[in-house]
Amino acid sequence: MAELATEPIVYSFTDHRVYREESPLVIAEGEGIRIRDTAGKEYIDALSGLWHANLGFSDAELIEAATSAYRRLPAFPCALGRGSAEAQALAHELLAAAEGRFSSVYFAASGSEAVESVLKFLWLASNADGTPDRKLVVTRDSGFHGTTLGAASLAGIPNQHAGFDLPLPFTVRVPRAHYYRDHLDGESRAEYVDRIVRTTRSRIEEAGPENVAAMIAEPVMAAGGVLVPPEEYWPAMDRLLTDLGIPLVADEVVCGFGRLGPLFGHRRFGLRPAAVTVAKGITAGYAPLGAVLLGPDLTRSVAGAAESYGVLGHGSTFGGHPVAAAVARAHLRALAERGIEARVAALEASLRTCLEGLLELPVVGEVRCVGGLAAVELMADGASRRPFDPERRIGRRVARKARELGLIVRDLGDVLALCPPLITDTGDVAEIVSRLRDAITATLKEET
């Protein structure tokens, strides 16, 4: 077997077949939405690190919050009936921000940990409620929910399973919501939604709704291609889940904390989840932290199970770390004081306007934008939805060319994903899209 191309670091989400020919991009410093590598070259980071640096890379308030917290209490767990004052305060603030819809908070150290935890809580609750067969979880094609065993099993992205003996057999896989790629010729958005919701119902009924603990879903799929659902989708799914008696877990590891506009991404679509998983943007990426917000029913079931077993046999040493909690509290204050929802609305409008200009390029099939998330879908012929041959790796080559031009985006196959910091202004958006246009045209020119 060939050695990894990335030693001494094993880089995640990296194509090691081609990476051997390249050098890692090593970043030395950042300011605002820009970062600089060790050679001094500057880039606009239009991906916010990995969907998480929502306030850029030099926010003075968050840095001061971390520095001050380190001086007060540099380490302490939320375990053994003990926790830090910062974690306690953050839990109260999160529940207040959620306007009473949730009853308790479990702290983790990452999004994967948060999703893994809610899975275990769902199964614990099923046992506690006398429904031990209720262990299946509905999940969608192209979904991303983390990389631990349970979380990766939920994924609808094949490369998360290859070689890992995954997925584990507890999922009910249902269609994604991607109208542009998946609709039939002549099928309206409403007809498309009706078709995939009927398919979803059929697959759940085949598995038995009485065997399903929950459905987990991102309000907007990020790593699956920044898939923005048609407006009819979530109302129809809400009706279906209510009819079948299946609770929803909203995975907001990317979609939370202003990324879609509202503090919680599910609010953008009027969803009523029984639990929410968060991470990434909770601290704007300035410290690692994840959390699960549990609704009243799930809180009661988990608490009852913990009492009957004598101990809650689940935990995280670094979940609710006092420094991370302090940063998260500072971030919540910053989002409120700076009117981030209005700023995100302006960012969305600017992104949409600028990206729609790329539709004049024949290889751009669709642009998608919601809040501070956007994507450009490349096609060999955009009008007919004819894709490029995957072996040409057009998306990856455009992303590489963009990097040469001082722009960081992410290629998800032939989808170019953008997730700029929420502080990005209209001038920066214009520059981002201009560089992206140049990268697309330069790449295609090399093809001819």
Q: What is the pLDDT of residues 296-322, one digit of tens each?
A: 999 988 888 878 888 888 989 999 999
pLDDT of residue 9: 73
pLDDT value at 143 more than 90: yes
> Could you tell me the CATH number of the domain that includes residue 412?
3.90.1150.10
Question: How many percent of the chain have pLDDT more than 70?
Answer: 96
pLDDT of residue 1: 43
pLDDT level of residue 370 (50, 70, 90 thresholds): very high
The answer as to whether 218 is a domain residue is yes
pLDDT of residue 67: 98
* Domain final position from 337, 365, 394: 337
Mean pLDDT of the chain: 93
Paired residues of 139 in beta bridges: 173
Q: Higher confidence at residue 345 or residue 8?
A: 345
pLDDT of residue 154: 96
> Distance from CA of residue 88 to its chain's centroid?
25
Q: Give the residue numbers spanning the domain of 418.
A: 339-447
Over range 203-222, report the average pLDDT: 98
pLDDT value at 324 more than 80: yes
58-109 tens-digit pLDDT: 999 999 999 999 999 999 999 888 999 999 999 999 999 999 899 999 999 9
Report the distance separating Cα 298 and Cα 247, nearest Å: 10
Same domain, 104 and 166: yes
The answer as to whether 272 is a domain residue is yes
Find all residues with CB under 8 Å of 308, minimum gap 6, and list them. 128
Residue tagged 């020919």 (tokens): 21
Number of domains, the chain: 2
> Could you tell me the CATH number of the domain that includes residue 149?
3.40.640.10
Same domain, 207 and 356: no
119-134 tens-digit pLDDT: 999 999 999 889 999 9
Over range 325-340, report the average pLDDT: 96
Same domain, 209 and 281: yes
Same domain, 281 and 366: no
pLDDT of residue 3: 55
* Domain final position from 277, 303, 337: 337
CA dihedral 257, 263, 268, 270 (to 10 degrees): 120
The answer as to whether 37 is a domain residue is no
Q: Which two tokens stand for residue 238?
A: 């809400």
Same domain, 343 and 237: no
The answer as to whether 48 is a domain residue is no
pLDDT value at 448 more than 80: no
Same domain, 321 and 424: no
* Domain final position from 337, 362, 395: 337
Per-residue HEC secondary structure of the chain comes to CCCCCCCCCCCCCCCHHHHCCCCCCCEEEEECCEEEECCCCEEEECCHHHHCCCCCCCCHHHHHHHHHHHHHCCCCCCECCECCHHHHHHHHHHHHHCCCCCCEEEEECCHHHHHHHHHHHHHHHHHHCCCCCCCEEEEECCCCCCCCHHHHHHCCCHHHCCCCCCCCCCEEEECCCCHHHHCCCCCCHHHHHHHHHHHHHHHHHHHCHHHEEEEEECCCECCCCCECCCCCHHHHHHHHHHHHCCCEEEECCCCCCCCCCCCCHHHHHCCCCCEEEECHHHHCCCCCCEEEEECHHHHHHHHHHHHHHCCCCCCCCCCCCHHHHHHHHHHHHHHHHCCHHHHHHHHHHHHHHHHHHHHHCCCEEEEEEECCEEEEEECCECCCCECCCHHHCHHHHHHHHHHHCCEECEEECCEEEECCCCCCCHHHHHHHHHHHHHHHHHHHHHHC
Same domain, 274 and 213: yes
Same domain, 315 and 345: no
The answer as to whether 49 is a domain residue is no
The answer as to whether 441 is a domain residue is yes
The answer as to whether 83 is a domain residue is yes
The answer as to whether 288 is a domain residue is yes
Same domain, 71 and 158: yes
176-195 tens-digit pLDDT: 999 999 999 999 999 999 99
Same domain, 287 and 351: no
2-57 tens-digit pLDDT: 555 556 777 776 676 666 667 778 889 999 999 999 999 999 999 999 999 999 99
Same domain, 295 and 352: no
Same domain, 386 and 414: yes
Segment 93-101 long-range contacts (CB within 8 Å, at least 24 positions apart): 93/329, 93/332, 94/291, 94/293, 94/332, 95/293, 97/263, 97/264, 97/332, 98/264, 98/276, 98/293, 101/272, 101/295
